[in-house]
Amino acid sequence: MNFLLDDNFFMRAALLEAQEAFSRGDVPVGALIVKDGEILSKGSDKKISDPTEHAEIIAIRSAAEKLNHWNLTGCTLYVTLEPCPMCAGACVNARLSRVVWGAKNYKSGAGGTLYNILSDSRLNHVCKIKTGVMSSECLKILQDYFFIRRKKSCSQPV
């Protein structure tokens, strides 16, 4: 299996999920769970309505439901933004084999930038991680979203 080609292919699909969130006016983060080359589940941030509805959590819940089991060993999570501590903990608890993320999360990254929950050997599971896949594309959609948000908030009367 050529991971580089597959990782880029699946990250493009995660970017489509991020675009969906962007279109709804939510933070453009997209995620999907893949097993044996098949997309099991997808998710995009819905944090505006619920602070726990991160793309990763949505995708993990959906994959577990589809497999009718909480243990996602053999699965890979693709996510456009490095997981936060909550999502990294969910990845460990779900026993995901791999986590592939795009853009660094300088505010709350738990896949190596600020914390390393995904690969912390003191925990009951360690996820293999791959960082920076299509990072410029993943970062651009976030920058575009926050540019528009700042522009809107500056143009509103006080």
| C-beta separation of 75 from 40 below 8 A | yes
**Active-site residue numbers?**
56
The Cα–Cα gap between 88 and 71 comes to 15
- The two three-digit tokens of residue 21, written as one number: 């969130």
Q: Where are the beta strands (DSSP E) in the chain?
A: 30-35, 38-44, 75-81, 98-103, 128-130
With H, G, I as helix, E, B as strand and everything else as coil, classify residue 139: helix
